[in-house]
Amino acid sequence: MNKNDLPGFIRNSEVFTDEELESLVNLEEKPTEQEIDAFKYDPEIQELLNAFIGDETTRLTHQLLKAKSFLREGKVAEAWKVCFVD
């Protein structure tokens, strides 16, 4: 996978650096849809999702910012999950 294979909302966001995008694409084992779905029930993620009900653009921005935070902590799988949770 390369950066161009990432969905546009991630690849074209102004949130991530090229290095952070590389971290996402180089994740050896991508989380499954079931893992991503389960992740949305984490209390911290629930709070983030519920804070922006009705404002999808702002919610997505905050999801990507949370993913960036996970990347800074070296939690690449969590970053991937938060990008795709809905």
pLDDT of residue 3: 84
pLDDT of residue 70: 98
pLDDT of residue 86: 87
pLDDT of residue 84: 95
pLDDT of residue 2: 81
Q: Give the C-alpha distances (Å, rounded to integers) separating 40 from 1, 8, 27, 86.
A: 25, 21, 20, 7
Question: Which residue positions in the chain have pLDDT lower than 50?
Answer: none
Q: Domain containing 23: what range?
A: 3-84
3-state DSSP assignment of residue 10: helix
> How many domains, the chain?
1
